[in-house]
Amino acid sequence: MRKPSPQIVILLLVYLTGSLGSCSTGVGKPKIRCKEAERRALLKIKEDLQEHAEDGVLSSWGREEEKRECCEWIGIRCGNKSGQVVTLDLSPSTFARYDLWSLEGNISSSLVDLQYLKYLDLSGIFLYGNSIPSFIGTLSKLRYLNLSRTFLRGEIPPQLGNLSSLRFLDLSRNNYQKINIKNFKWVQHLSSLRLLDLSHTNMSLAKDWVHVVNNLPHLIKLNLSGCDLPDIVPQSSHSLVNSSKVLAILDLSLKPLSASVFQWLYNYSHTLVHLDLYGCKLECPLPIYLKNMAALTYLDLSHNEIKGSIPQYIRNMTAIAYLALGSNHLEGSIPEAFGLNKSSLEYLDLSYNKLEGKIPKSFWKICTLRNLLASNNSFSGGFQLVESASKCGNFSLEYVDLGNNRIMG
Ligand SMILES: *[C@@H]1O[C@H](CO)[C@@H](O)[C@H](O)[C@H]1NC(C)=O
Ligand SMILES: *[C@@H]1O[C@H](CO)[C@@H](O)[C@H](O)[C@H]1NC(C)=O
Ligand SMILES: *[C@@H]1O[C@H](CO)[C@@H](O)[C@H](O)[C@H]1NC(C)=O
Ligand SMILES: *[C@@H]1O[C@H](CO)[C@@H](O)[C@H](O)[C@H]1NC(C)=O
Ligand SMILES: *[C@@H]1O[C@H](CO)[C@@H](O)[C@H](O)[C@H]1NC(C)=O
Ligand SMILES: *[C@@H]1O[C@H](CO)[C@@H](O)[C@H](O)[C@H]1NC(C)=O
Ligand SMILES: *[C@@H]1O[C@H](CO)[C@@H](O)[C@H](O)[C@H]1NC(C)=O
Ligand SMILES: *[C@@H]1O[C@H](CO)[C@@H](O)[C@H](O)[C@H]1NC(C)=O
Ligand SMILES: *[C@@H]1O[C@H](CO)[C@@H](O)[C@H](O)[C@H]1NC(C)=O
Ligand SMILES: *[C@@H]1O[C@H](CO)[C@@H](O)[C@H](O)[C@H]1NC(C)=O
Ligand SMILES: *[C@@H]1O[C@H](CO)[C@@H](O)[C@H](O)[C@H]1NC(C)=O
Ligand SMILES: *[C@@H]1O[C@H](CO)[C@@H](O)[C@H](O)[C@H]1NC(C)=O
């Protein structure tokens, strides 16, 4: 191949730089989308925050001329056309650093000048045990609000009930029950909610919580783990007219509940996929209501006081992949047909109960099973694992604990 002659190269360069030049003079400086008032509000928000890290996670935020485009600051997003700030995300993951509390300070009231915010995540900022500011209730376009792990405390201001577009609300893990929820009425107005995480708040006086939850039509996930919930009083089915038709994930673990919880959940039999009632001091037999929960793939009832035997219907719960019944008072033997039908079981915990008899052969035909925890029971008899293993094309059992039983083999 011939090299191009120097003249042609020079001509090309002239042409290119010329065209570049005319291009840049034609368009001028890139237009700044950021609104001046919103930029000032953001700078005020920064003033009330302190950074621990030396590199300064908010170093892109500044008054300098080259930093005028606040739409390009880390943690900020603006509407494409309007240039209004729609996202303020100061969570640790924004800064690609996963240590919590690298920012600390106060939430500036200048936040109310960001009226177009849809997404507000201040999780993992150390907010000094301040209370949740009521002015957040004026950000009427919010769809996502995350104040998890901020050390906020005190009452939740009822003004949060004004956020009727909110789909995700996370006020969880604020220093173990330092947030108080005395009534739940404000939640009732949040009719667009998909996810509500209030885990580790103090709800001991929120008597109306079941009624309110029943009336959130789009709620998919509810986490009230560690919330000291008042007892559930079964209500007339009339109150379910507007109830969630989609509640799939429910976590009420770690605090005492009575068996009436199952009566209530009967109404969500067809939608529940994930149910966590770990450590709720439940003192009842395994409830018949479970039989109808055909979609359930995750059920944790471990660390309760559940009595009686494992019911026959357990074999009909064919969707279940994670079943934890450990640390209860279950007795009797495992139903013979467990696992005979199509089964999806991957994790089974029966340990620390009073179960006896043989582990049925059918059991070893559950080819999906990976973890079997059965220690501290009174199981007896042999162990046909090896024989059956060959029947599974792809045997996946990785962990078996049968310690402290009377099994030989
Ligand atoms: C937060 O507010 C408290 C009390 O008003 C004040 O003492 C503290 O200096 C403020 N912190 C920051 C970082 O502005
Ligand atoms: C803005 O435009 C970009 C690029 O065209 C697009 O990826 C993004 O989804 C848009 N953002 C919004 C909020 O519409
Ligand atoms: C809220 O933030 C925490 C910590 O940054 C995160 O783990 C959690 O998933 C967030 N919640 C939601 C609903 O996105
Ligand atoms: C916001 O909530 C408060 C208290 O719940 C209420 O008095 C006020 O009218 C509400 N404001 C708007 C704009 O809805
Ligand atoms: C929860 O709230 C109740 C009623 O206000 C109070 O008696 C109780 O001490 C609180 N629990 C915790 C752990 O702060
Ligand atoms: C509920 O919240 C607790 C604590 O915040 C967390 O450990 C648990 O995984 C959450 N449950 C679900 C189903 O996400
Ligand atoms: C159901 O919702 C409609 C419309 O929001 C309301 O008028 C009605 O009172 C609600 N019914 C119940 C039982 O809550
Ligand atoms: C839900 O179904 C049960 C039947 O188990 C019923 O007794 C209860 O009152 C129903 N409604 C509510 C709101 O729990
Ligand atoms: C299991 O399901 C089958 C088919 O729906 C039904 O006939 C049978 O009675 C159920 N068994 C139990 C123990 O519930
Ligand atoms: C489980 O298997 C038994 C016996 O083979 C059968 O009668 C029953 O209908 C099956 N249940 C389901 C849910 O497939
Ligand atoms: C479980 O078995 C071990 C070993 O025999 C025993 O020391 C322990 O006390 C048992 N745990 C319970 C809760 O029974
Ligand atoms: C065998 O196991 C592997 C890994 O667990 C999985 O990816 C694969 O789909 C399984 N194959 C069959 C036939 O079950």
Residue 236: φ, ψ to 5°: -70, 150
In a domain, residue 299? The reply is yes
- Phi and psi based region of residue 24 (left: phi greater than 0; alpha: psi -120 to 50; beta: remaining): alpha
Cα distance between residue 211 and residue 243, in whole Å: 9
- The verdict on the CB of residue 51 being under 6 Å from ligand 1 is no
pLDDT score of 338: 75
CATH (domain of 316):
3.80.10.10
In a domain, residue 280? The reply is yes
pLDDT score of 29: 64
Cα distance between residue 343 and residue 318, in whole Å: 5
In a domain, residue 86? The reply is no
pLDDT score of 355: 95
Kind and range of the H or E run holding 26: helix 6-27
Nearest CA to ligand 9 atom 2: 316
For tokens 């949040």, what's the residue? 190
Cα distance between residue 158 and residue 53, in whole Å: 35
> Which atom of ligand 1 has the smallest separation from the CA of 50?
13
Tell me, in angstroms, the distance from the centre of ligand 11 to residue 225's CA: 28
Provide the number of structural domains found in the chain: 1
3-class SS of residue 20? helix
Nearest CA to ligand 8 atom 10: 237
pLDDT score of 15: 46
In a domain, residue 154? The reply is no
| Whether the Cβ atoms of residue 158 and residue 132 lie closer than 8 Å to each other | no
pLDDT score of 57: 79
> Which atom of ligand 2 has the smallest separation from the CA of 77?
13
In a domain, residue 172? The reply is no
Ligand nearest to the backbone CA of 79? 2
Q: Residue 379 belongs to what domain range?
A: 258-409
Nearest CA to ligand 10 atom 10: 341
| Whether the Cβ atoms of residue 382 and residue 407 lie closer than 8 Å to each other | yes
Residue 19's identity, in one-letter code, is S
Q: What is the pTM of this model?
A: 0.87
In a domain, residue 45? The reply is no
Ligand nearest to the backbone CA of 204? 5
Mutate-to-test residue for ligand 5 from 177, 178, 255, highest number of ligand atoms within 8 A of CB: 177
| Whether the Cβ atoms of residue 129 and residue 104 lie closer than 8 Å to each other | no
Q: What is the pLDDT along the chain (409 residues), one digit of tens a residue?
A: 455 555 554 444 444 444 443 333 445 567 899 999 999 999 999 999 998 776 677 989 999 999 999 999 999 999 999 999 999 999 988 887 667 788 999 999 999 999 999 999 999 999 988 899 999 999 999 999 999 999 999 999 999 999 999 999 999 999 878 899 988 999 999 999 999 999 999 999 999 999 999 999 999 999 999 999 999 987 776 666 666 689 999 999 999 999 999 999 999 999 999 999 999 999 999 999 999 999 999 999 999 999 999 999 988 888 999 999 999 999 999 988 776 667 889 999 999 999 999 888 777 778 888 899 999 999 987 665 555 555 676 566 778 888 888 876 5
Nearest one of 39, 33, 41, 36 to 138, comparing CA atoms: 41
pLDDT score of 13: 45
In a domain, residue 350? The reply is yes
| Whether the Cβ atoms of residue 275 and residue 293 lie closer than 8 Å to each other | yes
| Whether the Cβ atoms of residue 113 and residue 135 lie closer than 8 Å to each other | no
Tell me, in angstroms, the distance from the centre of ligand 10 to residue 315's CA: 8
| Whether the Cβ atoms of residue 164 and residue 140 lie closer than 8 Å to each other | yes
pLDDT score of 16: 45
pLDDT score of 275: 98
In a domain, residue 269? The reply is yes
| Whether the Cβ atoms of residue 315 and residue 291 lie closer than 8 Å to each other | no
Cα distance between residue 300 and residue 313, in whole Å: 17
For tokens 């005492």, what's the residue? 256
Burial of 36 (0-12, 13-18, 19+ CB in 10 A): exposed
